[in-house]
Amino acid sequence: MATPSNASYKLPKIGNEPNLHYKPDSPERIALVAELKAMEAAAPYYVPAFVNGKEVPASGPQSSQPMPHKHASTLATFSTSSPELTSEAIESALAAKSDWENMPFSDRAAIFLKAADLVSGKYRAKICAATMLGQGKNAWQAEIDAAAELADFLRFGAQQVEQLYTMQPPENAPGVWNRVEYRALEGFVFAVTPFNFTAIGGNLVAVPALVGNVVLWKPSPTATYASWLVFQILLEAGLPKNVIQFLPCPNGDDTIKLVDRAISHKYFAGLHFTGSTHVFKSLWKSIAQNMDKYLSYPRMVGETGGKNWQLVHPSADVRAAAIQAIRGAFEYQGQKCSALARLYVPRSLWEAKGGFQDILIEEINKIAQGPVDAFENFMGPVISQFSYDKCISYIEKAKAAGGEVIVGGTGDDSTGFYVKPTVIVTKDPRSVTMVEEIFGPVLTTYVYEDEDFEKTCTLIDTTTDYALTGCIFSTDRAATVKANNLLRNASGMFYINDKCTGAVVGQQPFGGARGSGTNDKAGSMSIFMRFVQARSIKETFLPPTEFLYPSNLA
Ligand SMILES: NC(=O)c1ccc[n+]([C@@H]2O[C@H](COP(=O)([O-])OP(=O)(O)OC[C@H]3O[C@@H](n4cnc5c(N)ncnc54)[C@H](O)[C@@H]3O)[C@@H](O)[C@H]2O)c1
Ligand SMILES: N[C@@H](CCC=O)C(=O)O
C-alpha cells in the first residue's frame, strides 16, 4: 500500500458482506421490526444541510420526503440549500482539501472500512428501515442495498484504491527510478445522487473521497433521510467534517440554482452523477458552456437510464427464464436501473400449454403487494406521485398503440403509490414502451418467430438509445455465442441464464454504455481512475556531467 508511513501496510481481507435473510422470528427480523416501529413513531426527522463543519439551522420553506407506501406520512423534512450556501460549502471543502489529500492512504482507508463495519453492524437495522420507509423497499431489497451493497462499496473501494496505487511503471533505466503518484483532482467533486439505491448515494461520495478529493453531496430529495444517515455514519467513522458537504434540496428550480452555482466555480473538478439520462445530458451541456471558467477539464462520470432486455432462445429452460423475468422486472417495483423492461420470447415457448405466458401470468398473480413493513409483500409502492402518473400514462399509451395488457395495468394511489405488476404484449417491437425508460413495474413483451432468432438480436440492438443490462436464456451454446456477438454493444452488463439485475460489488463491475452512461464501472478499480490526476515522477541518481553523446566523439 502506498503510504507516507514507515511501512507498507496491507488491508484486512475483503469479501462480500453476507446477507441476512429476515426469516420470521430471526434476530434480524426482530431488530428490523423494532427499528421500523421506532423510526416511524419518531418521524418526521429534520435533515439539515451540513456545511463548514456544522449543521445549518432550518430556514425558509420546508420540503418533505413522504413515505411512498403511505404518502400522508412524512419521514423527513429539509430546507432548500441556497446558491449562497453552496458557495460556502465549496469554500469550506477547498479549505479542507490539503489536509485530506495529504492524510496517509492507510488512515483514509481506515475511515471507510470503519464506516462499512458501522453499516453492517451497529446501524444495519436503522439504515435498512430508513430505506424501507423512505424509498419504498421491502426488507430483502433494503438489505441487499443499504446494508450489503453499501458495505461492499466501502470495503472493496479501499481494496481497489490500494491496487490502483500499486500500478507503477514496469521499467527503470539504469540509475533511474520511475514512479507514478495518483493525486486528487485539483478542486472539488460534485456528487449528485439518485433515490433508488442508498448504496449508490454513499458510493458516489466515497469513491472521490477515498482517493483524497473533497466532495459536495446533493442527495435525491426522495432519499434525503437515508442519505443523511450514511453521511452521519461517515462522520462517526472519523471522516473530517469538511471533506463532504451535505446539501439537501427539492427538485426543480432550487436544484437547478444549486447545481448552476457548483458547476460555475473555477475549482469544479468532476461530476459524479447517477440518475436519468436527460438530467445527465443537460448537466454535461451546461458544463460544456462553462469550459472557459475552469482550472482543469472536469471529469464527467455519469451512470444513467436503461431499457433492459431479456432474450429467450427456443432451447431455454422455460420456467427459469419466466421466473427470472418476474424478478428482473418487478423486484423493487422495476425501479432498478438494471430492471427488465423488454422481453423477447419465441412463439413456440410463449404459446405452449403451461409455457412461458402461462407461467408468467400464474406466478405474477401470486405476487403480494402492499406496505413495506408487512413482510409478506414482494412488491411495494413506486417512489412518488410523479412516478405513479408516469407508469399509468405509459400503460395507457401502450394500450392506445395496440398493446395488450395480459396482467396488471392498473394502480391505486389513494394511500400509497401502488402500480400493479404489468405485462404488455406488443406486436410492434418498436412501440413506445419498448423504447422509452418508464422506471416502474411495466414489462413489455414481443413474441418473435422461432426462426427469427438472429433478426431478434439485431432488433434488440437497434431498438433504444440505452445499453445498460441484458440477458439471454439458452441451453444452446452456439445460439448463446451468436447472441453474445450480435449484442456486444447492446449492454454494459450481459448475463447468461441469469436475470439482468443484481450485480454484486467485487463480482460484476456495474455500468452501461451508449445513452446509459460513461461506463466507468462502479465497484471496480476503473472508477477510481476518473477521480485522480496521475503525476509521473522520474528521479535520476547520477545526472550526466557532459552534454556530448558518445557518438559525438571523434
Ligand atoms: N446506470 C446506473 O448505474 C443507475 C443506477 C441507479 C439509477 N439510475 C437511473 O436513475 C434514474 C432514477 O433515479 P432518479 O429518479 O433519482 O433520477 P433523476 O435524474 O430524477 O435524479 C437524479 C439526481 O439528479 C437531481 N436532479 C434532478 N433534476 C435535475 C436537474 N435538472 N439538474 C441537476 N440535477 C437534477 C436529483 O435531485 C437527483 O439528485 C433512472 O433513470 C435510473 O435508470 C442509473
Ligand atoms: N447493483 C444493482 C444496481 C441497480 C441500479 O439501480 C443491480 O445490478 O441491480
- Residue 304 Cβ contacting ligand 1 at under 6 Å: yes
* Residue matched to cell numbers 445499453: 467
The burial class, CB within 10 Å (0-12 / 13-18 / 19+), for 440 is buried
Region 1-16: mean pLDDT is: 81
pLDDT at 313 over 60: yes
User: What's the confidence (pLDDT) of residue 368?
Assistant: 98
Residue to probe by mutation, ligand 2, list 324, 501, 516, most atoms within 8 Å of CB:
501
3-class secondary-structure state, position 124: helix
Contact 92, 240 (CB under 8 A): no
Q: What is the DSSP letter of 243?
A: S
User: What's the confidence (pLDDT) of residue 554?
Assistant: 87
Where along the chain do its domains lie? Answer: 27-180+194-263, 308-496
**How large is the C-alpha radius of gyration of the chain?**
25
3-class secondary-structure state, position 228: helix
CA 131 to chain centre: 14
Q: Is the pTM of this model over 0.95?
A: yes
ipTM reported for the complex, 2 dp: 0.98
Measured in Å, residue 336 CA sits from the centre of ligand 2 at: 6
Contact 182, 534 (CB under 8 A): yes
**Closest by alpha carbon to 458, among 425, 430, 423?**
430
pLDDT at 511 over 80: yes
pLDDT at 5 over 80: no
Could you confirm whether domain 308-496 is CATH 3.40.50.150?
no
- Residue 196 Cβ contacting ligand 2 at under 6 Å: yes
Contact 197, 149 (CB under 8 A): yes
Spell 238-263 as b/e; 16+ CB within 10 A means b. ebbebbbbbbbbbeeebbebbbebbb
- Residue 153 Cβ contacting ligand 2 at under 6 Å: no
* Ligand 2 atom 7: residue of nearest CA: 502
**Grid cell in block for residue 367:** 405476487
Q: What is the pLDDT of residues 483-498, one digit of tens each?
A: 999 999 999 999 999 9
d(CA 528, CA 369): 39
Q: What is the pLDDT of residues 188-218, one digit of tens each?
A: 999 999 999 999 999 999 999 999 999 999 9
H/E run at residue 254? helix 253-263
d(CA 264, CA 466): 29
DSSP code string of 9-21: --PPP--PPPPP-
pLDDT at 1 over 70: no
Measured in Å, residue 204 CA sits from the centre of ligand 1 at: 12
CA 301 to chain centre: 12
Region 453-464: mean pLDDT is: 98
pLDDT at 466 over 80: yes
Q: Could you confirm whether 17 is annotated as catalytic?
A: no
Question: Which ligand has an atom closest to residue 520 CA?
Answer: 1
How sure is the predictor about 8, in pLDDT bands with cuts at 50, 70 and 90?
Answer: confident
* Ligand 2 atom 1: residue of nearest CA: 503
d(CA 226, CA 232): 10
Q: What is the pLDDT of residues 404-437, one digit of tens each?
A: 999 999 999 999 999 999 999 999 999 999 999 9
pLDDT at 3 over 90: no
Measured in Å, residue 499 CA sits from the centre of ligand 2 at: 11
Contact 466, 487 (CB under 8 A): no
Q: Checking DSSP bridges between strand 404-407 and strand 422-426, what pairing results, if any?
A: antiparallel
Q: Could you confirm whether 303 is annotated as catalytic?
A: yes
Region 271-300: mean pLDDT is: 98
- Residue 188 Cβ contacting ligand 2 at under 6 Å: no
Residue to probe by mutation, ligand 2, list 332, 338, 508, most atoms within 8 Å of CB:
338
Name the average pLDDT for the chain.
Answer: 97
Catalytic residue among 337, 457, 471, 500: 337
Cα-Cα-Cα-Cα torsion 235, 237, 238, 240, nearest 10 degrees, comes to -30
Catalytic residue among 35, 303, 331, 437: 303
Region 6-13: mean pLDDT is: 92
DSSP code string of 347-397: HHHHHSTTSHHHHHHHHHTT--B--TTSTT-SB---S-HHHHHHHHHHHHH
pLDDT at 2 over 90: no
For domain 27-180+194-263, give its CATH number from 3.20.20.120, 3.40.605.10, 3.30.70.520, 3.40.30.10.
3.40.605.10
Measured in Å, residue 402 CA sits from the centre of ligand 1 at: 31
Question: Which ligand has an atom closest to residue 276 CA?
Answer: 1
Question: What percent of the chain shows pLDDT beyond 70?
Answer: 99
The burial class, CB within 10 Å (0-12 / 13-18 / 19+), for 24 is exposed
pLDDT at 4 over 70: no
Q: Which atom of ligand 2 is nearest to the CA of 335?
A: 6
pLDDT at 117 over 90: yes
Q: Which atom of ligand 1 is nearest to the CA of 510?
A: 3
